[in-house]
Chain A
Amino acid sequence: MKRALLGLVGILLGATMALAQAPERWFHIRVVSTDAKGEIVRVNVPMSVAEQVLPAIHAKGLNDGKVRIHGKVNDVDVRALLDAVAKSPDNEFVTVESRDENVRVAKSGEYLLVKVRDHQGKDKEKPEQVDVKVPISVVKALLADTESKDELNVLAALQALKACGDLDLVTVTDKDQTVRIWVDSRNTTD
């Protein structure tokens, strides 16, 4: 009995220490301008701060951690569409191959992938490349507990993202700049 109790205390202590030492997750944005000025902007936000602050913002279309999008989404049931994507096996859902660009939207494992390659665009020297990798859990959270179709639950998405590992969410490369948005446990960008 004594041994079992000691074991239980040990487990509780270990769990507490593991929780206490859980590293802070950081949300990073880096924009590097490729022009002559070479401007670099780096933003690093602790996710715990963002999680607490978001519900307190009631401005610029953001309310209680939910943002109202002003696009044409009424004609498309985004929720049903993404739900179907989440439930379906790995597949390519959209493939557009045109003279100007290739677009690919696919589900691979736990991720929704979007790839755009602007191979014959305006600027042939450095064509635009966009890569988006979003965990399906984040997509689901984004659409959860919303009152209308044009609302996105940013707070829930952030909470879901916190549970994911290190991840490159968005990379955009074009002739003017490269943009990278990612999540990890480091408090520096490079």
Chain B
Amino acid sequence: MITKMPPVVAGLLFVTGTTVVMGGVMTYNAGAVRVAVDENRPGGDHVHLFVPAVMIPPAMNLIPEKELQKHAREIRPWLPAIKIASKELAKCPDGILVEVIDPNEHVTITKRGRALEIDVKSPDESVHVTVPLGMVYSVAEKLEANSPPV
């Protein structure tokens, strides 16, 4: 037996479904920031974060303007280079960009697909961070808008 759904519920379901699909498409396109911190000791902490990259630039509006301007001023001379690097890196073949190995740590910065992956492995913990290159560009653009030209 098929019962007829009330129009309000159908409308809400449609809006929710569309939002989920749109959100999925946007997250897929822009990528996501992933942070994973895993302590190696027994019972150690495991922190895993997954934030869609599209949320980061709007979230920067929540940072106090004074604070944002202070950091933007410091990094201002490098912002055009960061913007270009993020765009150009996206076009390059994948590979390890930086690797540091010492007895206590192994650090790598890898370009994979349209993202930068930072891995730090030590006897105590493993840290993995994925940053979409498109988000790096957006954040640099946002910081540039918040700082006076040099």
Q: Chain A interface: which size bin? A: 20 to 34
- State A121–B11 Cα separation when bound (angstroms): 83
Contact B103 A24 (CB under 8 A): no
Q: How far is the CB of A172 from chain B (nearest CB, A)?
A: 19
- State A26–B93 Cα separation when bound (angstroms): 10
Q: Check A24/B92 contact, CB under 8 A, given A52-B84, A57-B78.
A: yes
Given contacts A26-B95, A56-B84, A187-B94, 15 further A-B contacts (CB under 8 A): A37-B103, A40-B102, A41-B100, A41-B101, A44-B96, A48-B88, A49-B85, A49-B88, A49-B89, A52-B85, A53-B81, A56-B81, A57-B77, A59-B77, A187-B95
Q: Main SS of the interface on chain B?
A: mixed
- State A53–B150 Cα separation when bound (angstroms): 18
Q: CB within 8 A of A38: which of B78, B81, B102?
A: B102
**Residue in A24, A44, A49 with the greatest tally of chain B CB atoms within 10 Å:** A49
Contact B80 A56 (CB under 8 A): yes
Q: CB within 8 A of B98: which of A43, A48, A53, A58?
A: A43
Instruction: Give chain B residues whose Cβ lies under 8 Å from the Cβ of A46.
Output: 88-89, 92-93, 95
Q: Check A42/B99 contact, CB under 8 A, given A56-B84, A59-B77, A187-B94.
A: yes
Q: How far is the CB of A27 from chain B (nearest CB, A)?
A: 11
Q: Check A59/B91 contact, CB under 8 A, given A42-B96, A188-B96.
A: no
| B97 at interface, CB cutoff 8 A | yes
Contact B77 A48 (CB under 8 A): no
Interface residues of B in 87-135 (CB under 8 A from A): 87-89, 91-103
9 pairs, A vs B, C-beta closer than 8 Å: A40-B99, A41-B100, A43-B97, A43-B98, A43-B99, A49-B88, A58-B80, A187-B93, A187-B95
Q: How far is the CB of A159 from chain B (nearest CB, A)?
A: 15
Nearest chain-B residue to A59 (Cβ)?
A: B77
| A45 at interface, CB cutoff 8 A | yes
Q: Check A44/B102 contact, CB under 8 A, given A52-B88, A56-B84, A58-B77.
A: no
- State A58–B91 Cα separation when bound (angstroms): 24
Interface residues of B in 61-98 (CB under 8 A from A): 77-78, 80-81, 83-85, 87-89, 91-98
Instruction: Give chain B residues whose Cβ lies under 8 Å from the Cβ of A40.
Output: 99-102
| A75 at interface, CB cutoff 8 A | no
Instruction: Give chain B residues whose Cβ lies under 8 Å from the Cβ of A48.
Output: 88, 91-92
Contact A53 B77 (CB under 8 A): no
Instruction: Give chain B residues whose Cβ lies under 8 Å from the Cβ of A187.
Output: 93-96
